[in-house]
């Protein structure tokens, strides 16, 4: 053993320590109080993202920092599987018919999505569906370049204020129908506030197209007269920014011939004007229906009529009080009106009860249908992936993934009968001709669903 001797001089002890006290000590500071912190992964990167080629393509679009901002499994509040299947079925040639909000995963927001949300949604889609990332997966039957082009087209439309306004004007995901007169009449019979409550959402929906904001609200039975009359004045002079360029059947930019271009532009302009006229008439119908069954406006009209009559009587030097016969008639009319309202109320209650029963029955039927559809999809997936081992005797990882993509396309259908028929046909084919026959039957069912 080698012993090394070091000549070191220890520093002098602090003067406030007691000499000879082996356990003497003193406080030199306070411990920092503990904090509760969440533990998370250091980065959302995956091994897949370590491919320099893939990262370079993504960084070129959004910058290098963006690569760490969104993990691959980011949720977009939508049905990821359904959206993925929808994307796989798109084609750039028919980009105008695609649902741009669904393509970017913004179905739950639609026109309410702000610019930042559109930008973030596009980033998520690119990080998940960029060709440089999907190339390694090589999904059979799926053109990954087409998928990405459709995503780019959706972003190009929604990121441009003018193009987005044109698309929002005819957004296929929005409802533009109006209540029937029978419905409005039933609401008014049930109670005037019931009518206002049911009509208000229609005016909110249409009000977003107004060039003038904010849009006045319909109000209730206690709303002041000036607000009610102001509401109808606004809507009878409604100025809408809604346009119909997005639905142009002819693209004038595709021709170099000036005469043809002028002809197509004229044709498109005439069609837009026709649709605009129809839309204005549609909005006017809503306002007319609301006014017709607005009890407040009827009261105002009656009040004005009485005030005018009293003013005329005073001008002739007579009493402003109604004549006894007129008062008697008014009382009789009031009693008859009360009786009619009571009968109408009973009829409305009976109709409401019948409607409630029908709605509950319809709700139960829809619930059963949804459960049956879910069960059938599960059974079909069980047959293809478990019972028939992805339709191959010894499937490779690529064959398994291709089968899952095709299965997603097949199960996009909500028709239980179609899915049941496909499952039974695949099972029968397997029993008769083995795994190859089952795969052929499966491919045939997928092709039929895609058509």
Any idea which of 1-5, 38-42, 148-152, 303-307 has the lowest mean pLDDT?
Answer: 38-42
Give me the DSSP letters along 128-185. HH-HHHHTTT--TT--HHHHHHHHHHHHHHHHSHHHHHHHHHT-TTS------HHHHH
pLDDT exceeds cutoff 70 at 386 = yes
CA dist., res. 34 & res. 29, Å (int): 15
35: phi then psi, degrees, rounded to nearest 5: -125, 145
**Neighbouring C-beta atoms of residue 227, cutoff 10 Å:** 13
- H helices of 316-396, in order, are 324-381
pLDDT at 349: 79
Q: Give the span between the Cα atoms of 382 and 380, in whole angstroms.
A: 5
pLDDT over threshold 50, residue 75: no
pLDDT tens digit sequence for 132-161: 776 655 566 678 889 999 999 999 999 999
Look at residues 258, 240, 262 and name the one whose alpha carbon lies nearest to residue 250: 262
Average pLDDT over residues 402-412: 83
Rounded to an integer, what distance in angstroms lies between the CA atom of residue 12 and that of residue 266? Answer: 100
pLDDT at residue 71, as a whole number: 43
| Residues 231/216, Cβ–Cβ less than 8 Å | yes
The CA distance from 350 to 357, in Å, is 11
CA dist., res. 334 & res. 322, Å (int) = 15
Domains and CATH numbers, the chain: 47-169 (1.10.287.110), 181-315 (no CATH), 367-451 (no CATH)
Q: What is the DSSP letter of 222?
A: T
Please report how the helices 192-207 and 295-315 are oriented relative to each other, as an axis angle in degrees rounded to 10.
Answer: 110
pLDDT category, 78, cuts 50, 70, 90?
very low
- Residue 405, pLDDT above cutoff 80: yes
Report whether pLDDT(232) > 90: yes
Burial 189-215 (b: 16+ CB within 10 A, else e): bbebeebbebbeebbeebbebbeeeeb
Choose from 78-92, 293-307, 319-333, 364-378 the range with maximum mean pLDDT.
293-307
- Read off the pLDDT of each residue in 294-305 and give the average, rounded to a whole number: 94
Q: For the chain, give the mean pLDDT.
A: 81
Distance CA 193, CA 190 (A): 9
| CA 432 to mean position of chain CA atoms | 46
Q: Which of 57-71, 168-182, 344-358 has the highest mean pLDDT?
A: 168-182
Burial of 256 (0-12, 13-18, 19+ CB in 10 A): exposed
163-178 tens-digit pLDDT: 999 999 999 989 999 9
pLDDT at residue 445 greater than cutoff 90 = no
Enumerate the H helices of 208-322 as residue ranges. 225-236, 258-292, 295-315
- Whether the pTM exceeds 0.95: the reply is no
Q: Give ∠ CA 98-100-104 in degrees, rounded to 5.
A: 125
Which residues, in sequence order, are CB contacts of 18 under 8 Å at separation 6+? 24
Mean pLDDT computed over 229-244? 96
CA separation for the pair 83, 280 (Å, rounded): 34
pLDDT of residue 50 exceeding 50, the answer is no
pLDDT band at 236 (very low <50, low <70, confident <90, very high): very high
Geometric angle at alpha carbon 104, from 99 and 108, rounded to 5°: 75
Residue range 25-33: mean pLDDT, rounded: 62
Asked whether 92 and 150 are in contact (CB, 8 A), the reply is: yes
Contacts of 349 (CB under 8 A, 6+ apart): 190
What DSSP state is assigned to residue 216? P
User: What's the whole-number mean pLDDT along residues 404-423?
Assistant: 84
Q: Tell me, what's the pLDDT at 27?
A: 56
The pLDDT, as a whole number, for residue 150 is: 94
pLDDT band at 353 (very low <50, low <70, confident <90, very high): confident
The per-residue pLDDT for 221 is: 93
Q: Which of 197-201, 293-297, 312-316, 356-360 has the lowest mean pLDDT?
A: 356-360
pLDDT for 201? 96
Backbone φ and ψ for 33, nearest 5 degrees, come out as -65, 145
* Rounded Cα gap, residues 177 and 195, in angstroms: 17
C-beta separation of 287 from 232 below 8 A? yes
Is the model's pLDDT at 210 over the cut of 80?
A: yes
Question: Is the pLDDT confidence value at 323 over 80?
Answer: no
Cα separation, 186 vs 184, in Å, equals 5
Judge contact between 395 and 435, C-beta under 8 A: no
Q: Establish whether the linkage from the previous residue to 16 is cis, with ω within 30° of 0.
A: no
- Does pLDDT of 430 surpass 80? yes
Secondary structure (3-state) at 210: strand
């Amino acid at each position: 053993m080698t012993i090394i001797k070091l000549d070191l001089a220890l520093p002098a002890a602090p003067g406030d320590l007691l000499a000879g006290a082996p356990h003497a000590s003193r406080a030199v500071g306070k411990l920092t109080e503990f904090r509760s912190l969440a533990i998370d992964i250091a980065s959302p990167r995956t091994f897949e993202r370590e491919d320099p080629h893939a990262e370079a393509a993504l960084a070129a679009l959004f910058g290098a920092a963006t690569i760490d901002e969104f993990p691959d499994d980011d949720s977009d509040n939508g049905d990821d599987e359904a959206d993925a299947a929808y994307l796989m079925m798109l084609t750039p040639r028919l980009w105008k018919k695609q649902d741009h909000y669904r393509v970017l995963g913004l179905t739950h927001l639609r026109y309410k999505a702000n610019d930042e949300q559109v930008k973030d949604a596009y980033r998520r889609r690119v990080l998940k569906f960029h060709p440089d990332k999907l190339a390694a997966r090589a999904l059979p039957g799926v053109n990954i370049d087409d998928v990405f082009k459709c995503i780019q087209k959706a972003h190009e439309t929604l990121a441009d204020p003018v193009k987005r306004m044109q698309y929002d004007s005819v957004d296929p995901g929005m409802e533009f129908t109006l209540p029937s007169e029978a419905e409005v009449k039933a609401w008014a019979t049930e109670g005037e506030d019931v009518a206002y409550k049911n009509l208000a959402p229609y005016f909110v929906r249409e009000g977003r197209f107004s060039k003038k904001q904010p849009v006045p609200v319909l109000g209730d039975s206690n709303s002041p007269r000036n607000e009610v009359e102001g509401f109808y004045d606004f809507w009878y002079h409604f100025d809408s920014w809604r346009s119909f360029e997005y639905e142009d059947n002819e693209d004038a930019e595709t021709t170099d011939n000036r005469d043809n271009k002028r002809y197509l532009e004229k044709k498109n302009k005439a069609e837009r004007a026709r649709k605009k006229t129809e839309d204005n008439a549609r909005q006017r119908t809503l306002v007319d229906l609301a006014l017709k069954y607005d009890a407040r406006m009827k009261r105002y009209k009656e009040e004005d009529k009485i005030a005018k009559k009293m003013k005329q009587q005073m001008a002739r030097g007579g009493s402003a009080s109604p004549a006894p016969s007129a008062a008697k008639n008014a009382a009789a009319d009031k009693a008859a009106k009360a009786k009619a309202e009571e009968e109408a109320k009973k009829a409305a209650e009976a109709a409401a009860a019948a409607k409630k029963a029908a709605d509950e029955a319809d709700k139960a039927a829809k619930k059963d249908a949804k459960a049956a559809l879910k069960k059938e999809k599960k059974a079909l997936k069980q047959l293809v992936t478990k019972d028939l081992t992805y339709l191959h005797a010894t499937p490779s990882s690529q064959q398994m993934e291709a089968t899952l993509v095709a299965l997603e396309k097949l199960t996009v259908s909500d028709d239980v009968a179609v899915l049941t028929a496909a499952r039974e046909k695949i099972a029968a084919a397997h029993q008769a001709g083995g795994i190859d026959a089952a795969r052929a039957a499966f491919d045939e069912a997928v092709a039929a669903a895609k058509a």
